[in-house]
Amino acid sequence: MQPEVFPLEIHDLTVAYNKRPVLYGVDLQVPAGKLIGIIGPNGAGKSTLIKAVMGAVPLMSGWIQIFGKPYKENLTRVGYVPQREMVDWDFPVSVMDVVLMGRYGRLGLCRRPGKADREIARDCLEKVQMLPYADRQISNLSGGQQQRVFLARALAQESDLYLMDEPFAGVDATTEAAIVTLLQDLKDRGKTILVVHHDLPTARSYFDMLLLINMHVVAFGPTEQTFTQELLQKTYGGRLTILSEVAQTVRGAE
Amino acid sequence: MKLGANRAGLGIFLLLLILSFANAEAARIGDIVETTPMEQAARFFSLSDKAVQLALAGSVLLGISCGLLGAFLVVRKMALVGDVLSHAVLPGVALGFLWGMTKNPVAILIGATAAGLLGTFTVSLITRTTRLKEDAALGLVLASFFAVGLCLMGMIQKLPTAEKSGLDKFMFGQAAAMSGADITLMSVVTILTCLLVIVFYKELLVISFDATFARTTGIPVRLLHEAFMLLLAFSVVIALQAVGVVLVSAMLITPAAAAYLLTDRMHRMLILSAIFGVLAGVAGAFFSFLGSNLPTGPFMVLAASTIFAGAFAFSPKHGVVPRWWRRRVKGDRIGRENTLKAIYQVLEAADFKSEGVTTAELAKHRHNTLETTLRDARKIARFKLVDFDDVRGVMRLTNEGWRQAKIIVRNHRLWELYLTSRANYQLDHVHDDAERMEHLLGEDTVRELERRLNFPQTDPHGRVIPSVRETTTSREP
């Protein structure tokens, strides 16, 4: 019998910045077709975990495999949504230009995006309800619209595993609803999505599974089994404000 | 900002090879005698002079390469890197000269490129290993490398044996000092630059916009960045002779900055930037020639700055003048609308029994002087909003005047009603806000307001909200 191939498998991963480890001994086997929330306090290494998967930070130890292969050999099967603040939104490009960047990985060096790529980009913009803005320069967009452009770009990558760094941060209610629909849609099409998430109350309803981390994996499993006071307390340590928030959320759910 | 020394070496070797076939003899314009500016201009544009041809070709080439690469520097917020690079090359120029004791373009190119790259490498070394941020590191390296260069240049000037004619041109630039070999070198660098930008446009675009994302899609970010920096160093060095160490960074930044103000698409910005670079280069060479070989650099930079000033003032979207004009037009419109509203209110107070309003009545209503009121009346009369009888001082609203007056009064009262009934404002707080909003509400917003308020007849003060039918034109704020 063949061993199961996971969309994302991490073995004994340790990542350090300036020799100070921020993630210790992470072991993870992410099953296919799940919508997974990555939850943890500030500085817990949530973004670092995503960056490690994308090969953007050096690993101190361990290995990461995407669909059974090292990341570099499976680039096109991974889509990425960075934090919105990471780029300069005054940059002289249109919404369409940004979404087309999602096609670059598939195009390879030197080749320009063609008609088919534009069609795909248009579809992706339609899915996030941003098609009317295709020819606008990106500086005219609101925060929520910017986030939807980034999502459209990730959709244009047509990947099987998506990594999203706080797509819900600072967006309006319309965008939040649009993102939730989109994530569900992706999941229904068999994609695996990992989402760094900050808001505990919504985490419970948005995700199938939760990955609780605080420099190491505290728990990973179905939401109903991991969203417990005990595990969340363990994740957030002794922080009173968060603890009380957790307590309330858990109580409200019971 | 790390640079591959081995790749730099390869590039220099290639250039060396090409140059070994080139004519290394310098052409000079030394025979200019007393002529009028007109004759000089004719001589420049007839291109009959070999030296003029070289100077012009050099200026065009450096304009293109600096314009293209500068555009990426500006959008990547790396303008200061260009500044450091251009100042850090000076010690290399001096060392390249000391090597053969002549102004050998190849020796100078190698020395200058090496020094420039060493400078940018030092910056990244400082930022990586200390707590200092990039701006401090850039300032530090710029000044120290430049100081070393100045010391070396001073020493060279003192050497009795040095055939030093031409080296002083590296400070402020002299297009006429360029030789055939210089032009060959410049052509190679410019062609390489164009190739890089055209072939790897999409990669450079995504690297500049979102380097992390670019890396995740498998684009060789590091390699392309190094190629970019190497070509940037080459472009600075080839521009040195014409523009000078002190000002060469301006040729990277100024045309690109002007282009940035004029467009919001990268490909158009690149084209504009290159065009501006060429214009500035040619203008600089021309004025320098006109003034019998005055330093070229300051003239090129002045020309580029003039282009930038033009973009700053007149750019349709971001320009100071169009913005001021738009504000003025809007201010005038608000002024007219306020006059119309006042006329409406005067008529309303008299139950719309009289058809006209006198300037005296209007002045009293608005607590204004008669002169101001007269001026306002003439203003709206010019727009055919009232028929104004100048002798009797009576204004009669035209059809269009009626329509606009009703719109503005309706907007004001609707908004007051909305604020009091839906946003829980106190009745005495709503007037000032409505004074502003009445001019900004578009026809669509007004419809929405009417619907939400169930098509009200009166405002919170009990006054009738005028109905405006047959309005098809939508009013943009």
Asked if residue A110 belongs to a domain, the reply is yes
Asked if residue B426 belongs to a domain, the reply is no
Asked if residue A93 belongs to a domain, the reply is yes
- CATH code assigned at A92: 3.40.50.300
Same domain membership, residue B214 and residue B306: yes
Same domain membership, residue B278 and residue B341: no
The amino acid that residue A60 corresponds to is M
Query: Among B336, B367, B397, where does a domain finish?
Result: B397
In this structure, are strands A35-39 and A192-196 parallel, antiparallel, or unpaired? parallel
Do A72 and B218 make contact, defined as CB atoms within 8 angstroms? yes
Same domain membership, residue B154 and residue B75: yes
Asked if residue B451 belongs to a domain, the reply is no
Do B266 and A92 make contact, defined as CB atoms within 8 angstroms? yes
> Residue-wise pLDDT tens for chain B (477 aa)?
444 445 555 555 554 444 444 433 333 444 444 567 777 777 777 777 788 888 899 999 999 999 999 999 999 999 899 899 989 999 998 898 888 777 777 888 889 999 999 999 999 999 989 989 989 999 999 999 999 999 998 888 887 765 555 677 788 888 887 888 889 999 999 999 999 999 999 999 999 999 888 988 888 999 999 999 999 999 998 898 888 888 889 999 999 999 999 998 999 999 999 999 999 999 998 888 887 778 888 999 999 999 999 999 998 887 888 889 999 999 999 999 999 999 998 888 888 887 788 888 888 888 888 888 888 888 888 888 888 888 888 888 888 888 899 899 998 888 888 888 887 788 788 888 888 888 888 888 888 888 888 888 888 888 888 887 654 444 433
Reported as a single tens digit per residue, the pLDDT across A33-58 is: 899 999 888 878 888 898 888 887 88
In this structure, are strands A161-165 and A59-66 parallel, antiparallel, or unpaired? unpaired
Query: Among B292, B318, B344, where does a domain finish?
Result: B318
Same domain membership, residue B232 and residue B178: yes
Query: Among the listed ranges A15-19, A191-195, B19-23, B394-398, which one has the minimum average pLDDT value?
Result: B19-23
The structural domain count of chain B equals: 2
Which residue, among B206, B207, B217, B219, would best test binding to A if mutated, counting the most A CBs under 10 Å from its CB? B217
Please name the residues in contact with A64: beta carbons below 8 A apart, sequence gap of 6 or more: A8, A9, A10, A11, A13, A52, A53, A70, A71
Instruction: Tell me how crowded residue A111 is: count the other CB atoms within 10 A of its CB.
Output: 12
Residue B469's pLDDT is: 64
Which residue, among A90, A109, A140, would best test binding to B if mutated, counting the most B CBs under 10 Å from its CB? A109
What does the alpha-carbon distance between residue B12 and residue A42 come to, in Å, rounded to a whole number?
48
Do B265 and A104 make contact, defined as CB atoms within 8 angstroms? no
| Separate counts of helices (H) and strands (E) for chain A | 9, 10
Same domain membership, residue B310 and residue B332: no
Inform me whether the C-beta atom of residue A250 falls under 8 Å from chain B C-beta atoms: no
Which residue from B29, B173, B46, B147 is spatially nearest to B87, judged by alpha carbons?
A: B147
Determine if residue B77 is left, alpha or beta; phi over 0 gives left, psi from -120 to 50 gives alpha, anything else beta: left
Do B216 and A56 make contact, defined as CB atoms within 8 angstroms? yes
What's the pTM value of the predicted model, to 2 decimals? Answer: 0.80
What does the alpha-carbon distance between residue A149 and residue B45 come to, in Å, rounded to a whole number?
51
Same domain membership, residue B254 and residue B347: no
Same domain membership, residue B19 and residue B125: yes
Asked if residue B470 belongs to a domain, the reply is no
Asked if residue B154 belongs to a domain, the reply is yes
Asked if residue B354 belongs to a domain, the reply is yes
Asked if residue B402 belongs to a domain, the reply is no
Q: Record the tokens describing residue A199, joined without a space.
A: 């808001």
Residue A3's pLDDT is: 63
The answer to whether the beta carbons of residues B61 and B85 sit under 8 Å apart is no
Asked if residue B172 belongs to a domain, the reply is yes
Please name the residues in contact with A73: beta carbons below 8 A apart, sequence gap of 6 or more: none
- CATH code assigned at B335: 1.10.10
Asked if residue A67 belongs to a domain, the reply is yes
HSE-up (13 A, CA, CB side) for residue A114: 6
SS3 A71: helix
> Which residue among A72, A87, A109 places its CB closest to the CB of B203?
A109
Which residue, among B127, B204, B213, would best test binding to A if mutated, counting the most A CBs under 10 Å from its CB? B213
Same domain membership, residue B233 and residue B102: yes
d(CA A235, nearest CA chain B) in Å = 28
Same domain membership, residue B160 and residue B92: yes
Do A72 and B215 make contact, defined as CB atoms within 8 angstroms? no
Residue of A nearest to B261 (CA): A92
Q: What is the DSSP string of A113-168?
A: P-HHHHHHHHHHHHHTT-GGGTTSBGGG--HHHHHHHHHHHHHHT--SEEEEE-TT
Please name the residues in contact with B333: beta carbons below 8 A apart, sequence gap of 6 or more: B439
Q: In angstroms, how far is the first alpha carbon of chain A from the final one?
A: 42
3-state secondary structure chain B: CCCCHHHHHHHHHHHHHHHCCCCCCCCCCCCCCCCCHHHHHHHHHHCCCHHHHHHHHHHHHHHHHHHHHHHHHHHCCCHHHHHHHHHHCHHHHHHHHHHHCCCCHHHHHHHHHHHHHHHHHHHHHHHHHCCCCHHHHHHHHHHHHHHHHHHHHHHHHHCCCCCCCCCCHHHHCCHHHCCHHHHHHHHHHHHHHHHHHHHCHHHHHHHHHCHHHHHHCCCCHHHHHHHHHHHHHHHHHHHHHHHCCCCHHHHHHHHHHHHHHHCCCHHHHHHHHHHHHHHHHHHHHHHHHHCCCCCHHHHHHHHHHHHHHHHHHHCCCCCHHHHHHHHHHHHHHHHHHHHHHHHHHHHHHCCCCCCEEEHHHHHHHHCCCHHHHHHHHHHHHHCCCEEEECCCCEEEECHHHHHHHHHHHHHHHHHHHHHHHCCCCCHHHHHHHHHHHCCCCCHHHHHHHHHHCCCCCECCCCCECCCCCCCCCCCCC
Which residue from A21, A28, A10 is spatially nearest to A71, judged by alpha carbons?
A: A10
Asked if residue A215 belongs to a domain, the reply is yes
Q: Is the ipTM of this complex over 0.90?
A: no
Asked if residue A3 belongs to a domain, the reply is no
Confidence of residue A241 (pLDDT cuts 50, 70, 90): low
Q: Show the domain range for B93.
A: 5-24+38-318
Mean residue pLDDT of chain A comes to: 85
Same domain membership, residue B334 and residue B282: no
- CATH code assigned at B202: 1.10.3470.10
Q: Show the domain range for A61.
A: 8-253
| Residues of A whose CB is below 8 A from B217 | 75, 101, 104-105, 157
Asked if residue B305 belongs to a domain, the reply is yes
Same domain membership, residue B193 and residue B267: yes
What does the alpha-carbon distance between residue A33 and residue A87 come to, in Å, rounded to a whole number?
30
How many A×B Cβ pairs under 8 Å?
Answer: 81
Percentage of chain A exceeding pLDDT 70: 92
The answer to whether the beta carbons of residues B54 and B48 sit under 8 Å apart is no
Which residue from B77, B55, B82, B339 is spatially nearest to B208, judged by alpha carbons?
A: B77
Asked if residue A53 belongs to a domain, the reply is yes
The structural domain count of chain A equals: 1
d(CA B208, nearest CA chain A) in Å = 9
What does the alpha-carbon distance between residue B372 and residue B368 come to, in Å, rounded to a whole number?
7
What does the alpha-carbon distance between residue A46 and residue B442 come to, in Å, rounded to a whole number?
46
Mean pLDDT of A220-243: 76
SS3 A39: strand
